Amino acid sequence: MKRLIAVCAALVCTLFAGASLAAGGTLRILTWADYAPRNVIAEFERQTGIRVEVTISNNEEMISKLRATGGAGYDLAQPSQDRILGPQQEFGIYKPLDLSRVNLGQFRPSLLAITRRTTTIGGKPYALPYLFGTDGLVVNTKAASVADYPDLCKPALRGKTAVRLKRPTLMAFAFAMGQDPFALYGNIPAYTALMNKVGAELIACKPNFKFFYDNKDQLLNAFRSGEVVAAMMWDTGGWTLNRENPSIRFVVPRSGALGWLDTFALPARGRNDAAAYAWINFTMQPRIAAQIVQSVGSFSAAKGAEPFIDPKLKAQYSAAFPTEASLDQIHWYPAIPAGLEQIEGRVLDRIKAAD
């Protein structure tokens, strides 16, 4: 009997070693800052035997890197869901997902549906949701009152507000003007006319802007010093400031918040799909997803992570988006057709150059 137990134990060890070897190798992830926290990587490596290498990037760099290599060099990328369709159709830098290898029950159904609408190509899925957040308004309620983006242009706030000189600002002001810029993506003349109209409004508003901010620290510090009292801003920045000063609040604009959603996508010539699927399934576990939320501050597409999330952050999120149905009121970015960003770029250049 002892001999039989020893043989069985040896067989189990051999099988386990073989499974670890099969799931081993290196997982090369192309992602955003803080999206793969050290503690999460360490636990994943310990459980799977897979070594993780992380390259920090952004949407533009992801497209550039993968285009340069024809989709090689990385096993998993995390572009925003609106930056997959165009680059894939133009450069072929991604490959379809095999959903049979994914635990789809770990994902919030509403966010799965949003991602599928935007990233299904030729009937095949090219992405899964990972993290999401919104752009809205942040205001020091002791110094200002704002309900929608044009309120940043009130005469009383001259020199005291801020926005980014980027396309989200154009989209936000278009919605506040009662227009839906996303509905015009297929109509270049109408879209150009709308962007020119938004550009003219932002030029007229320019005296109100203390600056066009380039990074989060610049804007957060301006709020802390009182230089800026209201801004178009991402939700987690507003919640960070609110924890320091309850008078500073994130506000969902009357015309709606703008929603971004970052994803999991497989580069076309990745070498370790098995490791990529293992990482997807691992990071969408509720407890692990909550650790990632803690690292980034944005919310996860994982289902059931809420009990593990910091109560204060959870309360701030719930105040802005009290129900799952609240997500349907967000203006989620659709896939960007070729040529639109050039139109927007010319408008942004005019705003920058205006006196």
**Domain residue ranges in the chain:** 2-131+260-318, 133-258+335-353
pTM comes to: 0.85
Per-residue pLDDT of the chain (355 residues; tens, 9 = 90+): 434 333 333 333 333 333 333 447 999 999 999 999 999 999 999 999 999 999 999 999 999 999 999 999 999 999 999 999 999 999 999 999 999 999 999 999 999 999 999 999 999 999 999 999 999 999 999 999 999 999 999 999 999 999 999 999 999 999 999 999 999 999 999 999 999 999 999 999 999 999 999 888 999 999 999 999 999 999 999 999 999 999 999 999 999 999 999 999 999 999 999 999 999 999 999 999 999 999 998 999 999 999 999 999 889 888 888 887 788 889 999 988 878 989 999 999 999 999 8
The label of the residue with tokens 């925003």 reads 80
| DSSP β-bridge partners for residue 30 | 55, 77
Whether 2-131+260-318 shares its CATH topology with 133-258+335-353 is answered: yes
The domain over range 2-131+260-318 is classified in CATH as 3.40.190.10 = yes
Among candidates 68, 76, 78, which has minimal Cα distance to 32?
A: 78
Pairing of strands 230-234, 128-140: antiparallel
Residue 158's SS3 state is coil
Strand ranges for the chain from DSSP E: 26-31, 51-56, 76-77, 94-95, 120-121, 124-125, 128-140, 161-163, 209-212, 230-234, 248-251, 258-264, 266-267, 299-300, 331-332
pLDDT of residue 330: 93
Q: How far apart are CA 150 and CA 201, in angstroms?
A: 9
End-to-end CA distance of the chain: 89
Determine the pLDDT at residue 16: 31
- Contact in structure between 128 and 280 (CB atoms under 8 Å): yes
> 78 near 35, Cβ under 8 Å?
yes
Q: What is the DSSP letter of 323?
A: S
- 342: tokens are 């050039």
Is the C-alpha dihedral spanning 341, 343, 349, 352 positive or negative? negative
Q: Which class in CATH covers the domain with range 133-258+335-353?
A: alpha beta
Using CB atoms within 10 A of its CB, is residue 323 exposed (0-12), middle (13-18) or buried (19+)?
A: exposed
What is the per-residue pLDDT for 10? 38
CA dist., res. 111 & res. 303, Å (int): 10
